[in-house]
Structure 1
């Protein structure tokens, strides 16, 4: 049933009881239509992700299926735009509710690895931890500056004038009612888990409701903090802290300990998922949804292809070699240096890259990737402002090339115009780094610089 615009006009000019009833019916009908559209579009994105994931697993392909899906959707939209523009616009309009919903909750899907960070760094000595943090923070800053300034330099060289980006819709802010509802859900589920720890079966399913609620509640609470407070306590940090504090409280009260509760947060067991597994199960859908944002900025992507691809290639190479050099200079153990080489790359591809080398610690790899993302999420926008990186291309590439998904999630909330370039850099940085690390000469040079050529496969 179509909604007639005349009905909406009548609502405004006829204050009678009949008109009010008709307005209510129209509003109710519109809400139903929007909800159905959201469920259908979101379901199709999630379905595509799961289909590709199963196909890649069956074919034993290690490349992340979601990145492949993102580029496929982007390519299909470009083809439709070339041969059937009206159909392309229809697709974008249909999937708009899904992309807005995903962008509203974007940081949540990148947080689980950050929540379990305390488990990943237990075996690292304090001296090595300080060195790793120094490399991570200094390397992040250098990678951001290199990527951003390379984009600006290439633009000046090819003399491409920056055009205004297409306006992007911003997700609606969280209402106080939503915050109270999730807070109440957290308290109720925490009390149930404490009073009856076996009510839901396994320990992971017992902890799942309150850990999931605490994660969501922390994110919403962080998003509603004053802007001055968010500069110090980013919603992503608030989100992770909320989940960790809930885990500490339950571990203490139940006497099961923090390690056991965090182990139940991210089990990586499909038959016994935790709260983190539920959230990360949507990560592929998030990545695929980036294709729609990229398509909306396709004119800028096409116009500025030179600076986009050049800066990504240079930033990726710089990140790998600068990490190896810094590790050698400050005396970090070669195994740890090799383990943190892909610090600026999303976890899935970072783990694939370190698998090329012998003797690495993949837990350290994952922890450093998360730490890099956390740094970028908290400081990227302020640092880019200080460096004079003003336009969305330089900001998007600089953020994602230095801080992958977490940085992308943080920037997109305030700067949706930068999201398409974040998405491209997020994907292409990992792909380019994977390609050059698959070359034996590059691997040998990296391990030689790190201090021990014995770790190359």
Structure 2
């Protein structure tokens, strides 16, 4: 009933509706398509080039360094050119920011397949590392930031304002509902012409995921504390897969297999969503450049906290995994638990015998724990400084924790955004070094 009242309130207020959504012009659509297309194309070209050259370093991270370097050079030589470049790519960065949580969802949707062969005892051990490790990483990052801040005694300066994407409108909800219903019915009534494949299920599974995210974002805040929009859209996609599996008699496992095929020639809805993860990393360059003055002024607090928290996260996970006798392959799979999914998957690719689905699921679940409990935990730990709160949140719960904190503590958001990017960058750089990988494997056993 609360959700219905909120939807009616949105649709009845023309001012709210126009603020939430307006039909884009042809020029705006082209601008978004070109700017986003360039980022996607750059990510794809870099992936191909790195694969051909057999380079294991994350290609998107290299792309991010290149974009950031270009912006910094232009800013020193021709500031107007740097500003124009930022303005040109703003529609793409806002698009990525608006839909960012969706790119994490596929790992949760296919979680029933990923955990099927994991014993219950191992699952409990992973959960223990996930929750305990999140709290420990939060404390390490936060207290490190406070200690360094007391030493350097740098006064805070106002951050650059961060543009927020428009909320979802009732019109968008009806459009995606129509896409879901029509594609679901078509897939059921015309199985001979379409066949049962990832392509058959792609449209309605993608629409179900998007619808779940929209509805989840409209839930009251007290409900979102236990039923995050990411959980809502994962449940929505699983329900759609269950319904199609039942009516088509193909079964849930088959349909979930079509959701995330990991085959470029036959992609599913999850593959489409995860295809944006590289672009997310490249887009970090724009957010870091926008807050370059803040990074420079508070470099000591930010860098020291991120470096110490990332090292602690990786090595404590390896040590605790061995102490509680978690299977080595699973321990290695969850090493990057505090790093954003896009780079966590790149990190585990450095190691052999890992389970990428478990990696992605643990990273997302860590973010969900942080999103729900990070403020209460920091209050209990007396982490009251905005810099410490922002860094601690991002270093322990990456993007989902950042999103949860941003709505209530805007003064901490810039530090969240910076630490969110730098934690993934530094973790990837560390694990790209053979000596670090070998030391982690030695600890894991």
| TM norm structure 1 | 0.83
Mark the CA change 1:335 to 1:252 in structure 2 (over 3 Å): closer, same or farther. Answer: same
Q: Is the 8 A contact 1:290 1:420 kept in 2?
A: no
Supply the distance in 1 between the matched residues of 2:434 and 2:71 (Cα, whole angstroms). 37
Q: State yes or no: 1:123 paired with 2:117.
A: yes
Supply the distance in 1 between the matched residues of 2:361 and 2:216 (Cα, whole angstroms). 23
Q: State yes or no: 1:237 paired with 2:231.
A: yes
Q: State yes or no: 1:64 paired with 2:34.
A: no
Aligned 1:37-52 pairs, distance under 5 A: 37-52=31-46
What is residue 362 of structure 2 aligned with on the other side? 368
**Is there any run of 5+ residues in structure 2 with no aligned partner, and where?**
1-17
Supply the distance in 1 between the matched residues of 2:361 and 2:373 (Cα, whole angstroms). 18
What is residue 8 of structure 2 aligned with on the other side? none
What is residue 107 of structure 1 aligned with on the other side? 101
CA RMSD of aligned residues (A): 2.9
Q: State yes or no: 1:250 paired with 2:283.
A: no
Which of 64, 71, 78 aligns to 2:72? It is: 78
Q: State yes or no: 1:312 paired with 2:306.
A: yes
What is residue 192 of structure 1 aligned with on the other side? 186
Kindly state the Cα deviation for residue 314 of structure 1 after the two structures are TM-superposed: 0.5
Greater Cα offset, 44-53 or 223-232: 44-53
Which of 253, 258, 262 aligns to 1:259? It is: 253
Supply the distance in 2 between the matched residues of 1:34 and 1:440 (Cα, whole angstroms). 46
Q: State yes or no: 1:203 paired with 2:194.
A: no
Q: State yes or no: 1:168 paired with 2:162.
A: yes
Kindly state the Cα deviation for residue 361 of structure 1 after the two structures are TM-superposed: 4.6
Q: Is the 8 A contact 2:260 2:267 kept in 1?
A: yes
Which of 263, 288, 293 aligns to 1:294? It is: 288
Supply the distance in 2 between the matched residues of 1:214 and 1:30 (Cα, whole angstroms). 24
Mark the CA change 1:409 to 1:209 in structure 2 (over 3 Å): closer, same or farther. Answer: farther
Mark the CA change 1:290 to 1:410 in structure 2 (over 3 Å): closer, same or farther. Answer: farther
Deviations 1:24-56 (A, max 9, x none): xxx999934333322332222222222222222
Deviations 1:264-300 (A, max 9, x none): 0011111111001111112222222222221111110
Q: State yes or no: 1:279 paired with 2:291.
A: no
Which of 146, 149, 152 aligns to 2:146? It is: 152
Name the count of aligned residue pairs. 425
Kindly state the Cα deviation for residue 347 of structure 1 after the two structures are TM-superposed: 4.4
SS at match of 2:285: helix
Kindly state the Cα deviation for residue 304 of structure 1 after the two structures are TM-superposed: 1.1
| TM norm structure 2 | 0.85
Deviations 1:396-448 (A, max 9, x none): 43233223444455556776776654454344434434444466665565455
Kindly state the Cα deviation for residue 107 of structure 1 after the two structures are TM-superposed: 1.0
Supply the distance in 1 between the matched residues of 2:341 and 2:305 (Cα, whole angstroms). 21
Supply the distance in 1 between the matched residues of 2:352 and 2:267 (Cα, whole angstroms). 31
Supply the distance in 2 between the matched residues of 1:30 and 1:214 (Cα, whole angstroms). 24
SS at match of 2:116: coil
Mark the CA change 1:213 to 1:411 in structure 2 (over 3 Å): closer, same or farther. Answer: farther
Supply the distance in 2 between the matched residues of 1:131 and 1:174 (Cα, whole angstroms). 38
Kindly state the Cα deviation for residue 210 of structure 1 after the two structures are TM-superposed: 0.6
Deviations 1:100-135 (A, max 9, x none): 222111111221122111211111111111111011
**Is there any run of 5+ residues in structure 1 with no aligned partner, and where?**
1-26, 452-457
